[in-house]
Amino acid sequence: MDRPLWAVLAGTFSLRFSTGLTGAMLGVYLATLPEHGGPAVGAIVLGVFGALFYLAELVLSPIFGILSDRQGHHRVMLYGPIFGAVAVIMTGFTADLGLPDPLALILAPITGSLVVLGFTRVLEGASTAASIPSILGYIAMVTAGDELLRGKAAARFEGATLLGLGAGFGAAPVVFALFGPTAFFLNAVLYGVSFLIFLSVKDPAGDASAARSEHVGFGRYLELLRSTHVWLLAPTWIAVNASIGLWFSQSIFQFAQANPDFPDQSLMRGFSAIAISAAVLVIGIIFGLGLLYWGNRFKNTRRTSIILYGILGGGALVGAAMVVNHGTGLPLVMLLAAAALAAFGLFVMAGATPAALGLLADISERFPDDRGAIMGLYSVFLAVGQIIGALIGGFAAEAAGIDGMLVATGVLLLVALLPLARLRRAEDPVTGTIG
């Protein structure tokens, strides 16, 4: 891969790190909101905030995808860090920061305001909606005709995205413990770093000519959404994203506080910020290794096979995690075996998302001047899945704690299996592509 592509991936990691940092710090912030001048909140409110983020991404991704085709993928990449920086600055000002009286009086109406915090989630969603379709449009453009490069780029994009989110997710408890709500302002600086990385990327060959071409409108976009190939891919990808999003929206909130309502669940006893961050780091490493491994298998393994393995791996992860969650009194060797099975399941599950992304990039080959619009479907599927996952996760955690989240994850993975057989029949058995 050449330098501009690596720069885009570095910017993706940096941007998603900031996004993950904000989302996870918000979980810690909301768990202690009364200490910062706001009301007490529960898991359902947290789930609604997560849904707001992905609802904004869902609505705005097609718009920014089409815009990136008209203005150029590189230019629209720059919008994401700007939206994100504004969002975190506003979030910081919702806290009681101990500012001098005149400024504190001006900001008093928004201190602890759930309405303002909800609006910042919409801005964060706009940040993702602007950046992801334009980045993926860029990747689809520069990897056209090179199956191996596309596989590597898709896996590394997923790696940069998920590892960035995971790193931000893992760092959040420690960063918030050290700096409190001021950490939101520090995150604005990190968004600035993402902006500078994207600014350093040169316009790709063909970007300007594609921008001058005749493009699909929203009518054609809706027609594409109704196509058979998209509807075969959508349910599986949405369900997989929901199973992942369920944990992104709830896990820090649940692990950070002891819950006496579920005394028999080992994972709900309250963990320190360092313990949570260490666990997220290990999970991120395993998932990253899985992404690299499966991303290099595009040339000799069918995409649907990789997705199937990923769903089965997720099922193994759920079963093993259930054993760990009720591991009190079990022999140490059994707990270690369950942990090893969970790690293996996570490694295998990592392949599902880049394989689905590769299928979508194949579909985009039918519309070479509208890659941003087509790849914007990635954010649509992601957003729908994350909204479903965030809402299901909130109710599942409220009802049954970590057990509820694990059961919900298993059900979502079963749903992901249902359309996979038909999707496999639409896939070229030799090249593994669809389109």
Q: Which residue has the higher pLDDT, 62 or 226?
A: 62
Q: Which residue has the higher pLDDT, 251 or 105?
A: 251
Q: Which residue in 192, 187, 61, 38 sits closest to 115, CA to CA? A: 38
Q: Which residue has the higher pLDDT, 432 or 150?
A: 150
pLDDT at 430 over 50: no
Q: Which residue has the higher pLDDT, 285 or 113?
A: 285
The torsion region of residue 203 among left (phi > 0), alpha (psi -120 to 50) and beta comes to beta
Q: Which CATH architecture has domain 3-199+216-425?
A: Up-down Bundle (1.20)
Mean per-residue pLDDT, 26-40 = 76
Q: What is the pLDDT of residue 105?
A: 47
pLDDT at 433 over 60: no
Tokens at 425, concatenated: 């029949």
Q: Which residue has the higher pLDDT, 140 or 77?
A: 77
CB atoms within 10 A of CB 266: 17
Mean per-residue pLDDT, 110-128 = 83
- Per residue in 174-187, pLDDT (tens digit) is 888 888 888 999 99
Of 68-72, 236-240, 288-292, the least confident: 68-72
Q: Which residue has the higher pLDDT, 147 or 173?
A: 173
Q: Please answer whether residues 192 and 40 qualify as being in contact, where contact means their C-beta atoms are separated by less than 8 angstroms.
A: no
Of 195-199, 260-264, 412-416, the least confident: 260-264
Q: Please answer whether residues 242 and 388 qualify as being in contact, where contact means their C-beta atoms are separated by less than 8 angstroms.
A: yes
Q: What is the pLDDT of residue 337?
A: 94
Q: What is the pLDDT of residue 226?
A: 64
Q: Which residues of 303-317 are buried (b: 16+ CB within 10 A; e: fewer)?
A: bbbbbbbbbbbbbbb
- Per residue in 349-375, pLDDT (tens digit) is 988 888 887 777 777 666 666 666 677
Q: Which residue in 385, 370, 377, 375 sits closest to 416, CA to CA? A: 385
| Nearest-angstrom CA–CA distance, 155 and 176 | 31
Angstrom CA distances, 294 to 16, 309, 313, 343, stand at 21, 10, 13, 15
pLDDT at 346 over 90: yes
Mean per-residue pLDDT, 426-435 = 54
Q: What's the mean per-residue pLDDT of the chain?
A: 80
pLDDT at 238 over 50: yes
Of 148-162, 198-212, 240-254, the least confident: 198-212
Q: Which residues, in sequence order, are CB contacts of 388 under 8 Å at separation 6+?
A: 238, 242, 245, 412
Q: What is the pLDDT of residue 348?
A: 93
Q: What is the pLDDT of residue 395?
A: 87
Q: What is the pLDDT of residue 196?
A: 94
Q: Which residues, in sequence order, are CB contacts of 427 under 8 Å at separation 6+?
A: 302, 303, 304, 359, 433, 434
- Per residue in 60-86, pLDDT (tens digit) is 888 888 888 778 878 888 999 999 999
Of 210-214, 226-230, 238-242, 250-254, the least confident: 210-214
Size of the chain, expressed as the number of residues it contains? 435
| Nearest-angstrom CA–CA distance, 56 and 122 | 5
| Nearest-angstrom CA–CA distance, 238 and 415 | 10
Q: What is the pLDDT of residue 204?
A: 62
Q: What is the pLDDT of residue 68?
A: 83
pLDDT at 147 over 70: no
Q: Report the run of H or E that residue 415 belongs to, with start and end.
A: helix 371-417
Q: Where does the pLDDT of residue 192 fall: very low under 50, low under 70, confident under 90, or very high at 90 and above?
A: very high
Mean per-residue pLDDT, 293-316 = 86
Q: Please answer whether residues 77 and 15 qualify as being in contact, where contact means their C-beta atoms are separated by less than 8 angstroms.
A: no
| Nearest-angstrom CA–CA distance, 288 and 279 | 14
Give burial (CB, 10 Å; 0-12/13-18/19+) of 380.
buried
**pTM higher than 0.85, yes or no?**
no
pLDDT at 98 over 60: no
Q: What is the pLDDT of residue 40?
A: 73
pLDDT at 435 over 60: no
